[in-house]
Each structure stands twice: as structure tokens, then as C-alpha cells.
Amino acid sequence: MEKLTRTMLVMLWLQLDWVSSQKVEQKIQSLTVRENERCSLSCNYTSSIFSLQWYRQDPGKGLVLLIVILSNEKEKVSERFIARLDTNTKQSSLHLLTCKPEDSATYFCALY
């Protein structure tokens, strides 16, 4: 009988408010998935943008840039990540193709 391994992957979210009435909102506070499943994160924003960046932060460490998607791009692929951007609905999503326990971190999206 195959043993099912469950791994909890926790991704904490923060809401970031920016100067000039720009606002980025990430609603989910945590996400639990099984190991090797696809993880999806999203954020919404309120103003026009040039680009949107996704960052990762491990406890006690600095931010690490994962991927940048420009406003004229719908999708961008980088290593294990896919970023999608919909400028009509002002929403972006980040997909991790296969989540691993070491992916547990805080993830941020930011605007430029």
C-alpha cells in the first residue's frame, strides 16, 4: 500500500499600501497544500502599473525577487514559477508548479 505523505506549506500574506493612492491587496493569510501539488497565490491592485514583482521572504532573511511581469505581458515563466497578469481586472497570480516543504515562506507582490 502506498503511503500518502502530507506536507503543510504555509504562505503568509501581508497587505501593502503604497504612496500616491496605489494599493496592493493579498487576501489569503495562509495556504496549506500537499507536497508536489501546484500552489497558487494572488493579489489585486488599484492603479495603473508598469510592472508587478513577486518576492519571497524566509524568516529572518531579506526579500528575494522571484519574477517580474510587465504590464504588457499576460504570462511569464521562470524556473518553477508562472506569473499571470490581468490589467483589466487588476489582478496577478503566482503559480508554483510543484510545492515543496522548503517553499514555506512569506510571499509578497509589489507594483512599479
The domain that contains 75 carries what CATH number?
A: 2.60.40.10
User: Is position 23 within any domain?
Assistant: yes
User: Is position 1 within any domain?
Assistant: no
User: Is position 5 within any domain?
Assistant: no
User: Is position 3 within any domain?
Assistant: no
d(Cα 27, Cα 68) in Å, to the nearest integer?
21
pLDDT of 5 strictly over 60: no
User: Is position 25 within any domain?
Assistant: yes
Q: What angle do CA 65, 76, 110 make, to 5 degrees?
A: 40
pLDDT of res. 18:
39
Cα 80 off chain centre by = 12
Task: Give the pLDDT confidence of 59-109 residue by residue, as tens digits.
Answer: 999 999 999 999 999 999 998 899 999 999 999 999 998 888 888 888 899
Q: Cα–Cα distances in Å, from 84 out to 5, 14, 19, 22, 52?
A: 30, 19, 24, 20, 10
**Do residues 58 and 12 touch, judged by C-beta distance below 8 A?**
no
d(Cα 45, Cα 19) in Å, to the nearest integer?
13
User: Is position 4 within any domain?
Assistant: no
What is the residue range of 75's domain?
11-111
Q: Nearest-CA neighbor of 27 among 8, 41, 46?
A: 41
